[in-house]
Amino acid sequence: MSLLEVTNLDARHGLLQAVRDVSFGLAEGEILALVGANGAGKTTLLRSISGAHRVASGTIAFDGRDVTAVRANKRVAMGIALVPEGRRLFGGMTVEENLLIAGATKRPGRWNFETVLDAFPMLKPLLKKRSGDLSGGQQQATAIGRALMTNPRVLLLDEVSLGLSPVAVNVVYDSLAIVIASGATIVLVEQDLARAMRIATRVACMLEGRIVLEGKASELTRDRVTQAYFGLRRGEAGRAAS
């Protein structure tokens, strides 16, 4: 049975339908990379799963329970954690305070203050710094660490590398590899297609609110994903990727 099951999900922003009839399942320990152009519906889908965005129709089931109408804070307590685009840390609070406040959920699991710092050692000298004064990479590491402090069973990561320098992206992903090795279940939105396909077990490509391609990362070629990404025919996809 899937740990997370999304069925025929629709989500809107006013009259704009951002997510259209999306269905997928996610087993425990899987890493699903959601890829697609800006405006494809990826962020709205993650926010809908986390409870931060109300769905228009369809269902979201978590560990066999329908959570479609469950409030966001209750989903966190159940084990669904979102690292949103833009991080959204408490800028006036220190790194340490951001981590500890998330740990107040008291969910059991492997992640606590010490294990988060082991996975993200770059945060150790920054604990007393205000999160609003950090670099983008440091903020992203803090945001992921804060989500881990809730001991999620599903971790939703939105645009991990957005706005970060190549060096910062590598540092964050080195730590994320430790999280993945722990057996984490993750839905990852990532614009870096090559990186997403390297770390994911499955890839789903969204176009205009729909999933237009889904499969095991090991069985999908970059050409096929690029074709779906841009909604192009095979010959056009080759030119777009070059």
**pLDDT tens digits along 82-97:** 998 877 888 899 999 9
Q: What is the pLDDT of residue 242?
A: 35
**Cα 174 to chain centroid, rounded:** 16
pLDDT at 233: 53
Q: Which two tokens stand for residue 164?
A: 């970060």
Q: Would you kindly state where each structural domain of the chain is located, as residue ranges?
A: 4-241
CB burial readout 80-117, b (16+ within 10 A) else e: bbbbbbebebeeeebbbbbbeebbebebeeebeeebbb
Residue 224 has pLDDT above 90, yes or no: yes
Burial class (CB in 10 A: 0-12, 13-18, 19+), 69: exposed
The pLDDT value recorded for residue 237 is 41
Query: Which residue's entry shows tokens 């899987």?
Result: 30
Contact (CB, 8 A) for 94 and 139: no
Q: Which of 105, 110, 122, 109 is nearest to 174 (CA)?
A: 122
Q: Is a pLDDT exceeding 60 seen at residue 239?
A: no
Write the CA distances from 150 to 23, 44, 155, 200, integer angstroms: 26, 22, 10, 23
pTM: 0.91
**Which residues, 6 or more positions from 216, have their beta carbon under 8 angstroms from its beta carbon?**
201, 202, 203
Return the CATH fold of 4-241: Rossmann fold (3.40.50)
